[in-house]
Structure 1
Amino acid sequence: MSEKDFAAFWPVFQEIVTSAQTYTIDPAIGFDDAYRLWCQAPLATWVAKDASGTLLGSYYLKANAAGPGDHVCNCGYMVAPAARGQGVARKMCEHSQTQAKASGFLAMQFNAVVATNTVAVALWQRLGFRIVGTVPEAFRHPQQGLVDTHVMHKALMR
């Protein structure tokens, strides 16, 4: 993702992060740190646009760990509020799995899926991810207080 694309995506990123309902990213993160986190630190970052060029969402792909754990990848997905419910997250997740396999990753793991984010949990499960662990009260939800997070995993090459 170019810096220009990230600048267009920035309002979506800010809205999602400042809502503090789904991501363990500091809500006060600035543009430069967010760009490094979302675009420079990962192996690759993609942006989803419709036929007219309207930004629908973005995701990144990176190794989940280093060294002996670098065969498992991790992704983060964000969908623009106006594009929710249109299959954008599904398409990005399917695309990310194809990209992960092409990059040699053997599995994909999501480290902290907020349990109250039931739409995401259900989507990931429909796409073949399993909850392999639950961390009690690992997330401070602004309305619901301390809530659980799930570790979700899917083998990509079997």
Structure 2
Amino acid sequence: MQIRQFTDADWSQVWPIVRDVVRAADTFTYDPTMTAEQSRATWVEQPPGLTVVAVEGDRVIGTAKMGPNRPGPGAHVSTASFMVASGARGRGVGGSLCRFALDWARQQGYAGMQFNAVAESNHAAVALYRRLGFRVVGTVPGAFAHPTRGRVGLHVMYCPFG
């Protein structure tokens, strides 16, 4: 598996990944009815951010976006999001993308990385992020309407650098 910068030609393979994850409505707070155009505008970062893809040969198996968490006085803290194709889950793609984002953020001089909305029911992601140095710094009770579990909390997670 290789992780490289997203190119416009990748969108035809990235869109089905984003579409499927968003429509499942069980991990991301994005509107499940987002169109391809809306999704692209949300997912593809402009500088100083970066969007990448994880590829095996010519097949995109995952994608990530990263950049400043907030503008202005909050721009010294980074954020990132990750999506993995359903057929590639459980193979370490998400972990590789997260490690890539952490390395990128450190190289860019960010003070840390913050995730604003990790569904507490997304146990695999929460466990991965904890292994990579994140901690839950707060949970908003009932802030995520999970399609089968009802309202669950959204974690704010943070990994300081240095």
Q: CA deviation at 1:86?
A: 0.6
State the 1:41 CA deviation.
4.7
Q: Contact 1:47 / 1:59 at 8 angstroms: preserved in 2?
A: yes
**Alignment counterpart, residue 125 of structure 2, candidates 120, 138, 141:** 120
Amino acid at match of 1:63: P
- 1:89-137 per-position Cα deviation (integer Å, ceiling 9, x unaligned): 1111111111111112110000010010000000100111000001000
CA-atom RMSD in angstroms: 1.1
- 3-state SS of the aligned residue for 1:105? coil
Q: CA deviation at 1:7?
A: 1.7
**Does the CA-based 8 Å contact 2:45-2:66 persist in structure 1?**
no
1:35 aligned residue: 40
CA contact (8 A) 1:3 1:35 kept: no
Aligned residue for 1:22, secondary structure, equals coil
Aligned partner of 2:107 in structure 1 is: 102
| TM-score normalised to structure 1 length | 0.95
TM-score normalised by length of structure 2: 0.93
Regions of 4+ moved over 6 Å: none
Instruction: Report the number of matched residues.
Output: 156
Amino acid at match of 2:52: W
CA distance in 1, matches of 2:45, 2:107: 20
Q: Does 1:21 align with 2:11?
A: no
Could you tell me the percent identity over the aligned residues?
40
Give the gaps of 5 or more residues in structure 1. Answer: none
Alpha-carbon distance in structure 1 between the residues aligned to 2:16 and 2:134 = 29
TM-superposed deviation, 1:3: 2.4
Tell me the equivalent position of 1:73.
78
